[in-house]
Amino acid sequence: MATVTFKNDIVCNLAGNEVNVGDTAPVVTVVNSNPMLQDEQVGGEGKVQLVIAVPSLDTGVCDAETRRFNQEAANLEGVEVITVSMDLPFAAARWCGAAGIENIKVCSDFRNKDFGNAYGVLLADGPLAGVLARVIFVVGKDGKVAYKQVVPEITEEPNYEEAIEAAKAAANA
């Protein structure tokens, strides 16, 4: 079972089916915050997706990460950028409006935790049990995982440049 840490002290296990580079990306449905409550598909063939899992938009690190990817998405041609959290869609919509998020889809896995379980990024224990770990996937046009970044310490930001380059490479493949 994969793990991450919280505040460099608490080890948190990740639940679900671990998905790695080269694996077929599971096709799951999450709930979009704009348009409100519309189903959104993660995974599948035919398009490149940069999928960003975060614990909650209402934290400083998740806020900064989502804003950064929103800025980067403006220059990512041929890449659909989706952030997934456990936030309710109503709260996510309010946050997106206040943050000026326009270039990415912000979705929730609150209903059934399908994304967290299918991709193996659901925190199984610890103080944040039930939310998503900080993980980034790039799903290529062939429906396979082309890139995966698990941020080992949940309170730290990811390597943005590496994720963006992986998304660009997948879009140009």
**What positions carry a catalytic annotation?**
62
Single out the residue of 168, 145, 148, 139 nearest to residue 46, CA to CA. 139
Single out the residue of 105, 107, 125 nearest to residue 5, CA to CA. 125
**CA pair distance 157, 115, nearest whole angstrom:** 21
Angle between helix axes 160-171 and 60-73 (nearest 10 degrees) is: 30
Q: Which residue has the tokens 């041929």?
A: 78
**CA pair distance 93, 77, nearest whole angstrom:** 24
CB 52 within 8 A of CB 36: no
CB 3 within 8 A of CB 145: no
Neighbours of 11 (CB within 10 A): 10
Neighbours of 28 (CB within 10 A): 20
